[in-house]
Structure 1
Amino acid sequence: MKTLILFFLQTTFLFAQANLDSLMKSISAKPDTARARILNDYAWINRSKNPNSALKSSEEALKIARAINNKNLQARSLNLMGVIYRNLGNYDKSISVYTNALRIAEEVKDSVQIAYSYNNLGGIYRLQGNNTLALEYILKALSVFENLKHKEGISFCTINIGLIYRRQGNYVKALEYLNYTLRLREEINDRPGKALALNLIAEVHFDLGEFNAALKYYLEVEKEYQAVDDKKGLAAAWGGIAGVYYEQKNYQSALEYRNKSLELATKINYLEGQVHNHINLGLIYAQLKNFQKADLEFAEALRIANSMKEIYVQIDTYKNFAKYNEMKNNYKEALLYFKKYTTLKDSIMKQENIALITEMEAIYKSERAEKEKTVLMKDLELREKQTNYLIIILLLIVVMVVIIYSRYLSKKAANKKLQELNAVKDTFFRLIAHDLKTPFNAIFGYTEMLKEDFTILSEEEKLKYITDIGRASKQSYQLLENLLLWSQSESGRIEFNPQTLNLKLIILESKELLMPAAKNKNIEIAVECDDNLTVNADMQMLTTIFRNLISNAIKFTYPGGNVIIHAIDEPKNVKISIKDNGLGMSDETVKRLFKLNEVSTFNGTQGEKGTGLGLILCKEFVSLHKGKIKVDSEPGKGSTFIFTIPK
């Protein structure tokens, strides 16, 4: 049956890509299920060449699928409609349709359509600049497709991942995934898919400045797209060839191919292609000193880009506008558009967390490997070894603390100091027994649950347990790190190496490290510091001060709150404040904050543990810099930690 359908479609499309009305008449006598499938196949083949006709076809298929209550066909029809809406630039509608497809596919446990829905959603989020969310959905899809050994589905996922890495400038990883996509498409004899993979490989070589290699691929792409009559792909290929000629300063050839690409992109309403062609025509005319034509091309590019919701198109447009105005020596306009470019790009960078993306890919690969029993057992053994190492480290820390305490005690004869040291000892043992016991219990518990129930746990439960193990480990590690630094400071083994440092860079690095914790509570962190403000400080100590104070602010701020880091340049010092709008403290609590004999456990707004040891460390490090630290706080209105560092 499927062979007959494909033969029918191929025959139909050879004759002027059969109009939809004639197609409907020719299949009217076929069973409903067969008609819906033929209409969906028609929609898929015409999704780029004739998207409006393809949309009508998929809508008719959806209508039939609903009439016969075939939810598998409904899910496929909706996924196809989402692809077409994406090609038409209607991303909001596309997301809505994909989400509906996912819901229906999950109802009937249609693994293929579930995976396509995940990947399609990931593709839209990638286009909108949300690479972290995009990769989360794409990796879900890839896991399902690999279990099904579904090569076509795998290739759609790997092409999306390759595009994400290209956007981040990681061209080695981008080529790795795109070449893998090309091999898969060749294995399944998907000629249009092969052409797309070749085109993207050509674009990466272009990004790398390897223009001869890029031209070779683009010319191959041109032949492939002409063979399958893919007008959108052909427009992109011609644009790529024009780009190579431009870089090689062959402006007449560049102009010829760029005009061909624009004409075709306009004919099929390919908006992104129109924007890129107008921009590059403007640059060509600028090189030819025809600024009147160049102005017209750039104005049209800006008009179309502003009508679209694809943020990367707008970023590219502003960047090239700045470049063009610089060529005209119009530096005021160049600066204006460069600021628009950087503002929009910075807004995207705030949404992206490259470290998180790399971590998510590693987690996915780890989970896939753990499905084999032998690898699972090795992994569990490794976890047990890691736990044992943590216990050994804990014991060493306890011994080290006791030694420090004993040495300190032997040097002090006064009864007052002796009582203080006894209090310190009690505090340390209470910290170690309580604050380290809780996360280790979590690590042991979740490890046992993974070991005993691995085969019956869902993927979501496994990910949750692994995430909880990671969170507990980080909590333990932070306390151990503070203990180690404090012990080094108390024993005089920590080196104080002041140097001239850019304060804003130190603040931004500390902020970036703590952004995952802030994002978990939807907390905004604002930095108000002059770009050129410098201090004379020890880098490790200053970083530790900021890490503890910012972490403290996040911990005691309610979800949705704000943390503001502000730096003021004074004659001899720089005054820094870290302000939150969280729980706040009473005067009595503030008085106890920096006293070693009164270290105690405080709970954050979501039950996060805080011992106050980090604040004691901050006070010692500020004092080493001959600075001062104080706290202004009021219950219910938040706290402000203020300290000074010499210039």
Structure 2
Amino acid sequence: MFKRVVLFLLFTAMFLLDAGRGFSQIAELSKLESNLPLIKDSIRYVNTLNRIAMLSHLRYRDSCLYYARKAKQISLRHNYSKGIADAKNCEAIYYVSLNNYLSAKYFNDALQLYKSIGDQENVCQVLMNIGVLISVSKNEDRGLDYMNEAFEKSKSLKNDSIRSIIIGNLLGIDTSMKQDRFDALFKEGKRIAEKYKDDRMILYYEASEGRRLYQEGEKGKGMEMLLKSLHSAERLGFETVKVWIYGPLSDMMLDEGKHEEAMDYLKKGIEESEKYGYAEFYLGFAEKLYQHYKDHNEPEKAYHYVSLLLAKQNSIAAAADKSGYNYLNYALRENENEELKDKASSRRKTIALLSCLFALSVALLFLVYRSLRNKREHGKTQQKLHEITLMQNAGLQQTNHFNTMLISVIAHDVRQPFSTIVMLSSVFNDDVDLLTEEEKLGIMKELAETSQKSLSFMDGLLEWIKSKKTGFEYQPEKLLIRDLIFEANTFFKIAQEKKQIKLVLDIPSATTVLAHKQMLLFILRNILNNATKFSPAEGVIHIDLAEDEEHMVIRIKDQGAGMSQEQIGQLFMAGSGDLEQNENNGAGLALSISYEMAMIMNAKISVTSELGNGAVFYISLKN
């Protein structure tokens, strides 16, 4: 047979709750959806929701997440462990191409639940899924450990249909497998797929064999076999198989010199990947199209596809942010595990120490009557030490909270602009010959603006850090309000121009205020950032002020979607989130820091808003 040709690169398409009868799964999905309103039993209803979620991920992935979350909510109310495990497994599959860390979390949660209820078939399935996820994340050895464990456990299953999929993934991951074992496993996997009439897996094996024939010189037969698999996938409604086949077909067409046909397959791949939510396919097709047009000196088309590629990467990054679970959460969780180990070790030492102290106390009891006065003094000393310890613990907790806030802000607000700088620099360096002068100037301008914005943000952040340290002395200075607002708004001009947002400033040029420049700039930037971000296209940001003998109030009004009273109540709380996402911790902390800076300057920040009527931020300063 053959080896390495199989290359089941599109692993996510092979995640199944149970294998068998691929074509009937489409009919089953329609039947389940139509019968769902008729089901009255809660457990049966949950099982149906999870089955729909699993089948949906092969076609429209958003439906997979919708049904899985609905099933999990009901399962939690009924304490139904299998329902919770199935739902978490579906959630993990949905996030495979969007957020590896969140996907791994859900897979591990599902695995522990399946083990606790003795569901060996699904234990094998989740072990396989974890192995694939880890391998895709460039840790092939660790991924292979999980895959081999799934392979061995599946041997004892009464219903061994899952082995066809496990074998397919194992062949794609184990690069050190000997040829004779590879051939034997390939035959076994295909035999199991045929035994259970699993049309989807049969097509995968046949398409892989066609690819092997082409690479070994039987080009006509190999291409014919692959085209036959494509037509079967289209007829049976197997979108994942069809989109996967576009890749090797485009390679064959390029090898034959049929560039137009090759590009047609890649363009179909992009179109259908976008339609069905296959982000991993989309990135591969877009990169191939970009590289082809770049190599053939067609800059306009190359620029178009590199733009699509960058846009999709940005949308995946945004989805990871929206999920609220990223590398920072993953790293902190690992740190928590280490801390738990340290605490366990500390407890063992404490028990040993307490045992020694107990023995010593028994030996010294007879001396107590002669040391009453010393005991009283000792008690006072212990009380003082206890108070000192409590104060130190409180200080350590405050420092730890401060450091966590600082890490979150840096992870959100500093990492993002640097990522933008790296991405823009890469486009400029790699594709400089493809860009017009106007595009080059635009990239350089955006690089400069992003860099300046990062430096200015760090200045404000450093001032906040200084204010948290002992010995900080608040030193206000006389500032021209109008000039300060223009300086703060510098970083949002490009975004405002793109959205055609108009900034209206009704403040006399000579108006001054006594405040700390960097702190006030930090506050203004955060409010202007949110106003620009949430204002509609062609909106207006209006800034004016009102003053009396004691106070000056700067009012910043936007025309965004507005906020509920509940959102306003939590807006300036640390870790509450930004105006739109409760899970976007960095932006929410920036508003919390702004609130603290205002307090240091004896100022106050407040907001009024109604849903649909925008928001008005007020900065009240001493006149």
CA contact (8 A) 2:328 2:411 kept: no
Number of the residue aligned with 2:195: 227
Are 2:305 and 1:305 equivalent residues in the alignment?
Answer: no
What count of residue pairs does the alignment treat as equivalent? 411
CA distance in 2, matches of 1:64, 1:185: 35
CA distance in 2, matches of 1:363, 1:147: 26
CA distance in 2, matches of 1:364, 1:47: 44
Number of the residue aligned with 1:121: 91
Number of the residue aligned with 1:157: 126
CA contact (8 A) 2:269 2:282 kept: no
CA contact (8 A) 1:285 1:293 kept: yes
Unaligned runs of 5+ in 2: 1-16, 351-387, 430-443, 445-453, 468-487, 493-517, 529-570, 576-600, 606-616
Are 2:69 and 1:99 equivalent residues in the alignment?
Answer: yes
CA distance in 2, matches of 1:166, 1:287: 29
Number of the residue aligned with 1:285: 253
Q: Partner amino acid for 1:97?
A: Y
Between the two proteins, what is the percent identity of the paired residues? 13
CA distance in 2, matches of 1:201, 1:318: 27
Number of the residue aligned with 1:131: 100
Q: Partner amino acid for 1:134?
A: S
Number of the residue aligned with 1:381: 345
1:175 aligned residue (144, 155, 163)? 144
Number of the residue aligned with 1:12: none
Are 2:31 and 1:75 equivalent residues in the alignment?
Answer: no
Where does 1:249-288 land on structure 2 (aligned, <5 Å)? 251-252=219-220, 254-288=222-256
CA change 1:45–1:142 in 2 (3 A) is closer
Number of the residue aligned with 2:393: 437
Cα deviation, residue 235, structure 1? 1.9
Number of the residue aligned with 1:112: 82
CA distance in 2, matches of 1:361, 1:163: 22
2:172 aligned residue (195, 199, 203)? 203
Number of the residue aligned with 1:52: 26
Where does 1:442-461 land on structure 2 (aligned, <5 Å)? none
Cα deviation, residue 287, structure 1? 0.7
Q: Could you give the per-residue CA deviations for residues 97-138 of structure 1, whole angstroms, max 9, x where no partner exists?
A: 2222222222222211111111112211224x1323323322
CA change 1:122–1:209 in 2 (3 A) is same
CA contact (8 A) 1:102 1:117 kept: yes
- TM-score of the superposition, structure 2-length normalised? 0.53
CA contact (8 A) 1:158 1:178 kept: yes
CA change 1:332–1:515 in 2 (3 A) is farther
Unaligned runs of 5+ in 1: 1-42, 371-375, 387-431, 443-471, 480-512, 534-542, 557-561, 567-575, 585-603, 609-631, 640-647
Q: Partner amino acid for 1:54?
A: E
Q: Partner amino acid for 2:44?
A: L
CA distance in 1, matches of 2:106, 2:489: 31
CA distance in 2, matches of 1:355, 1:221: 36
Number of the residue aligned with 1:495: none
- TM-score of the superposition, structure 1-length normalised? 0.52
Q: Could you give the per-residue CA deviations for residues 579-609 of structure 1, whole angstroms, max 9, x where no partner exists?
A: 563599xxxxxxxxxxxxxxxxxxx95469x
Q: Could you give the per-residue CA deviations for residues 150-178 of structure 1, whole angstroms, max 9, x where no partner exists?
A: 22232232233223223322222222222
CA distance in 2, matches of 1:261, 1:104: 40
Are 2:316 and 1:348 equivalent residues in the alignment?
Answer: yes
CA contact (8 A) 2:102 2:326 kept: no
CA distance in 2, matches of 1:301, 1:318: 9
CA distance in 1, matches of 2:130, 2:327: 15
Report SS of the residue matched to 1:281: helix
Number of the residue aligned with 1:239: 207
Q: Partner amino acid for 1:526?
A: P
CA distance in 2, matches of 1:212, 1:284: 27
Q: Could you give the per-residue CA deviations for residues 339-374 of structure 1, whole angstroms, max 9, x where no partner exists?
A: 43244235435628774575488589889xx9xxxx
Cα deviation, residue 230, structure 1? 0.8
Q: Partner amino acid for 1:298?
A: L
CA distance in 2, matches of 1:253, 1:290: 17
Q: Could you give the per-residue CA deviations for residues 60-92 of structure 1, whole angstroms, max 9, x where no partner exists?
A: 7645641xxx211111122112222223x2223
Report SS of the residue matched to 1:144: helix
CA distance in 2, matches of 1:149, 1:439: 47
CA distance in 2, matches of 1:126, 1:71: 29
Q: Partner amino acid for 1:53?
A: A
CA distance in 2, matches of 1:177, 1:144: 17
CA change 1:170–1:74 in 2 (3 A) is same
Are 2:156 and 1:187 equivalent residues in the alignment?
Answer: yes
Report SS of the residue matched to 2:417: strand
CA contact (8 A) 1:115 1:141 kept: yes
Number of the residue aligned with 1:421: none
Report SS of the residue matched to 2:66: helix
CA contact (8 A) 1:51 1:84 kept: yes
Give RMSD over aligned pairs.
5.2
